[in-house]
Structure 1
Amino acid sequence: MSFAVPPSFAWESWGGDPGGSRFSPLQEISPGNVGQLVRAFEYHTGDLTARSPELMRRTKFQATPLFVEGSLIFCTPFNEVIALDPGTGAQKWRYDPKIAINQRPANRYVCRGVTYWVDDTAPPDAACRARIFMGTNDVRLIALDAKTGVPCAGFGNGGEIKLDIGMALEWPGEFQITSPPAVGRGVVVVGSAIGDNRRVDAPSGVVRAFDARSGQPRWTFEPLKREGIEAGHANVWAPMSVDDARGFVFLPTSSPSPDFWGGKRPGNNEHANSVVALHIETGELVWAFQIVHHDVWDYDLAAQPTLARLDTGEGQRDVVIQPTKQGFVFVLDRDTGKPVWPVEERAVPQDGAEGERLSPTQPFPTHVPALTSQTISTDDALALLPALRRSSCERQFAEAHNEGLFTPPSRQGTLLFPFTGGGVNWGSAAFDPVSQILYANTSRAVHRVKLIPRAEAVGFNPPPGHDFGQQRGTPFAMTRAVVMSPLGLLCNKPPWGEMVAVDLKAGKILWRSTVGTTEDLAPLGVPLPWGAPLVNGLAVTAGGLVFTGAMDAYLRAFDARSGRELWQGRLPVPGVANPMTYLWQGEQYVAIGAGGHSEAGTSIGDSVVAFRLARPGEAPSLWSRTIDRPGGRFLAASSVIALAVVALMIASLRWRRRRRIARS
């Protein structure tokens, strides 16, 4: 099937469209010519040179550019909004809200994107007829003219609204806005990201809506029903979706705070961990479907709900597709919220910590299989050398409480698999409306969560690499750490990051492909082809390609039919952001933000990089390469050998140390 595409095809929303399909009808770049991609431009925001290294280590560059009004428009982690020429990458305008840089944002400095809206009631040449909305790390909602970057004077106070949180913050940065606002029917809706695991009386996660023209308040919605419970918030930190025809906005809500002990919030905690549909003009509840009951695993909804028209086998239906951190895919009717295919309530492990009141069951989809494995055992421990396995990974797995998915946190320490960043994260999924195939990046790693009795939490010094949360107001503090081997590799067997294609109608996984290597993460830069955790998302095109970044510094293209990796484009640092594609002056471009990932320990950058097909007489650059090239298998084999040598050296040093101790 071919598409009639205008000369300049836009990417007008963070998810490609307001429903987050991440699908483009562009076909110029195809499996047959993707190897001819060359770097079109690399733009640097300047943060890397203007900011201190210590400050940059508190950033995450996760923005997806929009292609609107003849410009690529995106935000930096410090909420500067920048417009670029889409063909050359030359800066056209820049707006700096001058956010405070002496705060410590709970989720680091991050801005995943901006939102575009056109006021159809305004004259064609009116200022701010086309607007860019952005939420900031210091809790402002800003409106800019999309053509000039000048603040919209008639919106709020000189183009911005300072959100009223309603209470004092424990520290500057406890409350922030990290994802793009949602907009529809003249209403702009904004969520929030709030520090988890510090206190029961954390700020509310109320969702706020404003008139998109004037900034006047329209409505608020509290995601968490508070009758008879004590909890800080269930908020909406992930991107929302909009069905403008129906006038619905869809909220993916988070877990209540604090995450890992909920004895003071009995019951299922509606409408936390839910897909919630509201009337966007009034905030009135349409429906809500809860994905996790009484969450004590931080399994909040991180992915944007994907709106699609799906052939269910009984005709076409408008649906909401919600991937989860556990690797589930829920498919809900868009009008009612009822599951399109049966969802079963299944018994899950109990024996929670003292005072905990767990749900005896959790929802399990029955038609669409889980996108990733959901059980872990000592047999799944990474074993480069048996000695290292026995002394570290296998031991760490064996010592922890582990009854499978939904094992409650414990004093002993509980394995969470998938981990709290696992399954499908904020990068969300992509849906091809023609093939009816859903594509998603998934992560496979293990968290160990341990509850610390309150008396022992006083003055507690967590081990290196462990998150520590006081969870004040509960009997327990907590620690959380990714289970790692002595070599700094994940303790579970690879692959650690996979792209998955699933036929929703058939309920069948079509293929899985490992994404990424350890090149930019492992000791000595050894590029083991084992994949890397994938919190970022992807983009699918009518040309038959799926594009994605990863924790190593490559933008990749995969064949949408087979899952075969076809091409890699080298980036200055890892592109842990969602790619996008657009058509400009007859040429298709693919662009991605490349800023690394401070929490994963990668190198940090400040780039937006774009690729296009080579023009006549233009040779492919050194930054681009096709896969299945000669020497590829040798590279993988030599990488394994190199890592094995390192492992042997470490094992030898440990053996010598044990002998010295024994002799003494």
Structure 2
Amino acid sequence: MRSGPGSIISLITIAILALAGLFLTGGGLWLIVAGGSWYYLIAGLVMLATALLLQFRRPEALSLYAALVIGTLIWAIWEVGFDWWPLAARGGVIFILGLVLLLPWITRRLGRRNVAQALDGVVVTPSARRGSGLALSGALVVALVVAGISWFTDLHSVEGRLPERQTAWNDLGVPAGEWHQYGRTSYGQRYAPLDQITPDNVDRLQVAWEYHTGDETQPGDPVETTFEVTPLKIGERLYLCTPHQNVIALDATTGEEIWRYDPQIQGELALQHLTCRGLAYQAPGTADQAGADAAATPAADAASPASDSPTGTATALAQSGQLAAPQTDGQPASADDAATAPAAPTETPTSNQPVAAATAARTSDTCDGKLFMPTADGRLIALNLETGAVCTGFGGGDGQIDLWQKMPNVNPGSYYSTSPVVVTQDMVIVGGTVLDNVSTNEASGVIRGYDIETGDLVWAWDSGNPDQTTPLPEGQSYTPNSPNSWSISAADEALGMVYVPLGNQPPDQWGANRSDAVERFSSSVVALDIATGEVRWVFQTVHHDLWDYDVPSQPSLLDLTIRGESVPVVVQPTKQGEVYVLDRRTGEPALPVVETPVPGGAVEPDFTAPTQPVSALSFDPPAIRETDMWGATLFDQLACRIAFHGYRYEGRYTPPSLEGSLVYPGNFGVFNWGGVAIDPVRDVMFSTPAYLAFVSKLVPRDNDSDLVVNKSQPDGALPALNENFGAPYAVELSPFTSVLGLPCQSPPWGYVTGSDLATGETVWMHKNGTVRDSSPIPLPFEMGVPDLGGPVITAGGVAFISGTLDYYVRGFDVTTGKQLWRARLPAGGQSTPMSYEGADGRQYVLVAAGGHGSLGTKRGDSVIAYALPGEAAAAE
């Protein structure tokens, strides 16, 4: 017989059908044994039968495959309804193979006799071939119609309109066109009272200017090196910090650099994260200033403050060689110079280019207005607002506080403030991040209050020793490994309270040995007295947290009208999807909170809490089912189904296990550090919930030194994450993904939502973002992707976000949630935008686009300001 192209295509098609059938049959049997769907076994057998019939040139092959197409369609609709992406995963391969079977090279061979049939006298009629082809064609047309219907059907959208109510609000004295704290004010609302940009004109926004910081990835950086800053806008200037913690002042209207300060971060550091989310600001005249601002002068020998800690300070570490020396003019400095005061700014550049920091520090004896900058080597530095010079009146004469004082387990880089500190009239309140899941011998999560003028320690609240807040006596140190506050706090000076979001005690997934104090304060919102640090109230968001559900977001404060009464509340988003609305005077729920039973059965001798608190305003997703498994094809979806049944999963709060447990929502969080945006005039909330499942598996440790979950020790001082040295178990943590790296759960994975805080109702909810920058092929499919970075909401009725995994900044109608505008970013925008008014009278929207290491988004160093064209802005 002659073999032409038709024969080759037929042989390839038969081979593909046979291989696919074998995979589905074998995997289908595995899934049935695990307790899953019978579909895959049936589909595999039908594919094998179709391949066999094609081999014998039987037209019935097409009819049998047509039955598979219709059967798959019925099964898929029964499982997921008219939901396009889940339907496509189930039927895409089936549909494509059906089209291949209708190719003329294949259909012409059907009904023709092969050599054996000719010898046997077999006759096949052409009508049989035509009938089979029509059956398959009809089945594919039906599948195509269903696909078209599902493409235009959005089962995940909630439509509605937020109320247009007008209530009184407290702007805390911040001018409307400025942004004085991370969340604009100490209330953390992320609300800009500017209305030049509206739903009617937001689509006319254009780039006004773009600035490049020059801060790039360096050798020795941790994976999670991120540009997460939200700049401040004070007067006519912007102030921001970079991942490597340069502080930069820009002209807010033109983007021109005014000064730059380099803190000269010391040596190799045991960093899990390298970021700076923002600066804190003390306004001029908020406390007594002695004399006028002195001229800035070089500091020849400004050493770090001496420590009375028994464990030593940055100075002691430098002298002992444990802290590497900084670089000066490209040459290594001596170890004795390692703790010298950092370099100063270079003032007034002539162009919009990064300016090198001077090698000698400039100082100012007094500063009428200060910026506070925490550093990765554990310092808090005060800078002159106008010049960027170090304020020597703060911190014992050199403008900085050594945050390692009285800390246990000194390991530079393992503790520092990634988030801006809280500034009140008299106090600077400092928390910090502690290495997570590295060991049981880490620094303390102590929260400290310092005198805003002198830098003297006034109080220290240690959740491991909560009743003593006065400074520790000589020779004592804070509690090791106590729950820390790595996120951003909020403050109400009228009530005299600072609201602190607390994390968990590491290791996150093992809690058998936690103290009573840890059990009380872990994963809580704690209200501390600003003056004394004493606990005023505590609300625990997770009892006995085994899921890394630390409280990640800044609390947002507002006066909320509930049932006709104005109630001062704190709104606290959480990783597990609850948004708690609490009376900020007492910590009592202002919207109902119900204790709900949850799964038990932790690995002994650990345990789980019998119940967990669920809020009336909740973004907790429905429990994952087998039918929620997804993939790019039928085959990786089958693999995800098998994996799903291989893990322990009984819903939210399924405890970690030796076989591996599904954690959903995962520790990425429904909400993370970006938090939510609050319109205090309308009493509404704009948020960006994300939904990704993770896998948590406990791995037994035989000793306190061997690596059991890392293949090798990281380079330099970087820590071996998730090893939990000192605990009986390490932990393997990973997203629940397929062999192709795609989430095993069906999209959407990210939304934008609008909620009425007065009623606790989520009024609208829409999927948000594309997979353009997450997939191997840059297809802009609107599937809904996670957002890491917060929103900003404006009085003009427009909210902005930039943190989705695709590289866009977007503007939304707050009332309806409709996307009104988007602009392409040069890198990942994992930061929280802000909005301000420039000297030209235009309202600006500002975005930092520099990427996020652990998310794999593109790195960069851009700060971009958008505004309406001059003529349009003038007309508003």
- Tell me the TM-score range normalised by the shorter chain: 0.7 to 0.9
Asked whether the equivalents of residues 408 and 442 of structure 2 are also in contact (C-alpha less than 8 Å), the reply is: no
Shift of the 68–381 alpha-carbon distance from structure 1 to 2, 3 Å rule, reads: same
The CA deviation at 1:383 is 3.4
The corresponding residue for 1:561 is: 815
Q: Which residue of 2 aligns with 1:399?
A: 646
| Partner residue in 2 for 1:451 | 698
Shift of 1:56: 8.1
1:71 corresponds to 2:318: no
Task: State the alpha-carbon separation in 1 of the partners of residues 218 and 578 from structure 2.
Answer: 40
- Structure 2, unpaired ranges of 5+: 1-165, 294-365, 468-478, 713-719
The equivalent of 1:26 in structure 2 is 194
CA–CA distance in structure 1, aligned partners of residues 412 and 174 of structure 2 = 46
Question: Which residue of 603, 611, 620 maps to 1:353?
Answer: 603
Residue of structure 1 equivalent to 2:503: 254
Q: Give a deviation string over 1:596-629, Cα, whole Å, max 9, x none.
A: 11101111011111100012399xxxxxxxxxxx
Specify the SS of the correspondent of 1:21: coil
* Cross-structure match for 1:194: 434
Of the candidates 340, 363, 376, which is equivalent to residue 137 of structure 1? 376
Q: 2-side partners of 1:53 and 1:603: how far apart?
A: 17
1:155 aligns with 2:394: yes
Task: Determine if the alignment matches structure 1 residue 89 to structure 2 residue 339.
Answer: no
Q: Counterpart of 1:598 in 2: which secondary structure? A: coil
CA distance in 1, matches of 2:490, 2:773: 34
Letter in 2 for 1:61: F
The equivalent residue for 2:619 is 371
Partner SS state of residue 627, structure 2: helix
Q: 2:206 aligns with which of 38, 41, 54?
A: 38
**Other-structure match for 2:130:** none
* Aligned partners of 2:443 and 2:480 also within 8 Å: no
SS class of match (1:600): coil
Q: Could you list the per-position Cα deviations for residues 409-449 of structure 1 after superposition, in whole angstroms to 9, with x for gaps in the alignment?
A: 00010111111011111001111112211111111111100
Deviation per CA, 1:467-523: give whole Å up to 9, x if none: 952223322111100112233222211111112211122221111122221112211
Distance 2:622 2:260 in 1: 45
CA contact (8 A) 2:190 2:677 kept: yes
Among candidates 282, 292, 298, match of residue 117 of structure 1: 282
Does the 8 Å contact 2:439/2:726 carry over to 1? yes
Cα distance change, pair 527–543 in 1 and its aligned pair in 2 (3 A): same
- Residue by residue over 1:370-415, the C-alpha shift from the partner in whole angstroms, topping out at 9 and shown as x without a partner, is 2241522221111332222002x22222211101111100001011
Instruction: Trace 1:269-284 onto structure 2 (pairs within 5 A).
Output: 269-284=519-534
- Partners of 1:412 and 1:318 in 2: CA distance: 46
Distance 1:433 1:574 in 2: 29
Alignment match, 1:576: 830
2:506 paired with 1:234: no
Paired residue for 1:605, among 860, 868, 875?
A: 860
Q: Give the corresponding residue for 1:389.
A: 637
Tell me how many residue pairs correspond in the alignment. 609
Cα distance in 1, alignment partners of residues 621 and 567 from structure 2:
29
From the two aligned structures, give the one with the greater strand fraction. 1
Partner SS state of residue 390, structure 2: coil
- AA paired with 1:143? A
Q: Deviations over 1:44-74 (max 9, x none)?
A: 11113xx547748551000000001321101
Aligned partner of 2:658 in structure 1 is: 411
- Distance in 2 (CA, whole Å) between partners of 1:231 and 1:100 is 23
Matches within 5 A, 1:417-456: 417-455=664-702
CA distance in 1, matches of 2:222, 2:726: 33
Q: Distance in 1 between matches of 2:708 and 2:652?
A: 29
Instruction: Tell me how far 1:526 sits from its aligned partner.
Output: 2.5
Is the Cα–Cα contact under 8 Å of residues 807 and 829 in structure 2 kept in the other structure?
A: yes
Secondary structure, counterpart of 1:9 in structure 2? coil
TM-score, scaled to structure 2 = 0.67
- Matching of residue 614 in structure 1 with residue 869 in structure 2: yes
Which of residues 846, 849, 863 in structure 2 aligns to 1:591? Answer: 846
Does the 8 Å CA contact 1:182/1:240 hold for their aligned counterparts? yes
Q: 1:504 to 1:494 in 2, by over 3 A?
A: same
Q: Check the 8 A contact 1:224/1:272 in 2, yes or no.
A: no
Q: 3-state DSSP class of the match of 2:777? A: helix
Pairing partner for 1:303 from 520, 534, 553 = 553
**Structure 2 residue aligned with 1:330, among 580, 594, 599?**
580
Of all paired residues, the percent bearing the same amino acid is 38
AA of the residue aligned to 2:228: Q
Query: Following the alignment from structure 2 to structure 1, what is the Cα–Cα distance between the partners of residues 633 and 482?
Result: 45
Matched, 1:533 2:786: yes
Match of 1:507 among 748, 756, 760: 760
Which among 749, 756, 762 is matched to residue 496 of structure 1? Answer: 749
Distance 1:246 1:449, change over 3 A: same
Asked if the contact 2:205–2:866 (Cα under 8 Å) also holds between the matched residues in 1, the reply is: yes
SS at match of 1:442: coil
Residue 487 of structure 1 is matched in structure 2 by 740
Asked if 2 retains the 8 angstrom alpha-carbon contact of 1:256 and 1:269, the reply is no
Q: Which residue of 1 aligns with 2:181?
A: 13
- In structure 2, the CA distance between the partners of 1:226 and 1:10, relative to structure 1 (3 Å rule), is closer
Superimposed CA distance per residue, residues 168-219 of structure 1 (whole angstroms, 9 cap, x where no aligned partner): 6475322121000001131000101011112223221111111111101110
Per-residue deviation, residues 100-139 of structure 1 (Å, max 9, x unmatched): 3632412x21000001112434469644111111211111
Q: CA deviation at 1:535?
A: 2.3
Does residue 806 of structure 2 align to residue 552 of structure 1?
A: yes
* C-alpha distance in 2 between matches for 1:309 and 1:183: 21
Q: Which moved more, 1:164-173 or 1:598-607?
A: 164-173
- Aligned counterpart in structure 2 of residue 477 of structure 1, from 730, 736, 739: 730
Alpha-carbon distance, 1:165 to partner: 5.0
Q: Deviation per CA, 1:561-607: give whole Å up to 9, x if none.
A: 11011111111101100000001121000001111111011110111
What is the SS of the residue equivalent to 2:570?
Answer: strand
Q: Deviations over 1:301-330 (max 9, x none)?
A: 001011011011141100011111011011
Q: 1:54 to 1:97 in 2, by over 3 A?
A: closer
Greater share of residues in helix = 2
User: Are the aligned partners of 1:225 and 1:270 in contact in 2 as well (CA < 8 Å)?
Assistant: no
The amino acid that maps onto 1:564 is K
1:57 and 1:199 map into 2 onto residues whose CA distance is 19
Is 2:430–2:449's contact at 8 Å kept on the other side of the alignment? Answer: yes
RMSD across aligned positions (CA): 2.5
Between the aligned partners of 1:62 and 1:494, the Cα distance in structure 2 is 26
Q: TM-score, normalised by structure 1?
A: 0.87
CA contact (8 A) 1:169 1:175 kept: no
Q: CA–CA distance in 1 between the matches of 2:827 and 2:412?
A: 29
- CA pair 172-216 structure 1, distance change in 2 beyond 3 A: closer
Q: Are the equivalent residues in 2 in contact too, given 1:61–1:577 (CA < 8 A)? A: yes
Q: Structure 1: give runs of 5+ residues left out of the alignment.
A: 619-664
